[in-house]
Amino acid sequence: MKNPIVIAIDGTSASGKSTNAKLVAAALGFVYVDTGAMYRTLAWYCLKRNIDFHDAKAVASACRRWKTKLECVDNRVRLVVDAYHPEKEIRTADVSVAVSMVATVPKVRDWMKQTQRDCIQFGNLVMEGRDIGTNVFPETDYKYYLDAHLEERTKRRAAEGVNENLAARDQRDSQRAAAPLMIALGAKVINNSNLTPEQTSAMLLDDIRKRMVEVGAGR
């Protein structure tokens, strides 16, 4: 494929990035990439190896040395470590605590950026995260930023059985030195506080298809 399309879906925690990215990818037949899972995989790896996730140098060293490979299975990209995919292990509460620290390490974000850009080998992508449109694929014509009111996002997390201080997480994400969470230039912002995933994904798909026509006409 000469020029694969990358649809970047960024946003705050519990804004529906994962759900909507999956719906959009399925509707378009694109490959889905969860970049948060990649950071979680590193956090899990550090915990498994007893690496202090508060120690930026130790985390950066682990990220530099670990043996990983990108795989695409059922139109979803996953990061395999030592030939193992820790699908369930990366969703634990301990990993959730560690990942917010691991993700602030600049060397980690450099490594992740290159690895995420390498996902283009699998074709057209719907990639969700916190810095896709600003840092990983800033050149894409398809940038979206999802958000919802803090109360609504907290309610969503609670429904998942997760008790997380989202205000503190938002602050860490937006104030970190390396690739902070922000709205990408040219991104369409959707506040889905009162929308279902189906309504949100329909808005995304409508805009994506319009942009495809515009981008195609401009070439």
pLDDT at 18: 93
Angle, alpha carbons 168-41-79 (nearest 5°): 135
At 182 the pLDDT is 85
Q: Say yes or no: domain 1-30+124-219 is CATH 3.40.50.300.
A: yes
Cα angle 80, 145, 217 (rounded to 5 degrees) comes to 95
**What single letter denotes the amino acid at residue 15?**
S
The pLDDT assigned to 217 comes to 55
DSSP single-letter state for residue 84: B
Matching fold, domains 1-30+124-219 and 35-122: yes
How buried is 124 (Cβ within 10 angstroms: 0-12 exposed, 13-18 middle, 19+ buried)?
Answer: middle
Which parts of the chain have pLDDT scores under 70? 1-2, 176-177, 217-219
Q: Residue 1: CB partners within 8 Å, gap ≥ 6?
A: 123, 124
User: pTM, whole model, 2 decimals?
Assistant: 0.90
Domain assignments of the chain as residue spans, ordered by start? 1-30+124-219, 35-122
By C-alpha distance, which of 51, 22, 42, 127 is closest to 89?
A: 42
Residue among 31, 13, 12, 14 nearest 22 (CA)? 31
CA 47, 176, 136: angle at the middle one, nearest 5? 85
Identify whether the C-beta of residue 147 lies closer than 8 Å to the C-beta of residue 11: yes
Question: What does CATH list as the number for 35-122?
Answer: 3.40.50.300
What confidence score (pLDDT) does residue 1 get? 46
Q: Where are the alpha helices (DSSP H) in the chain?
A: 17-28, 35-48, 56-65, 93-102, 106-117, 150-159, 166-175, 197-217
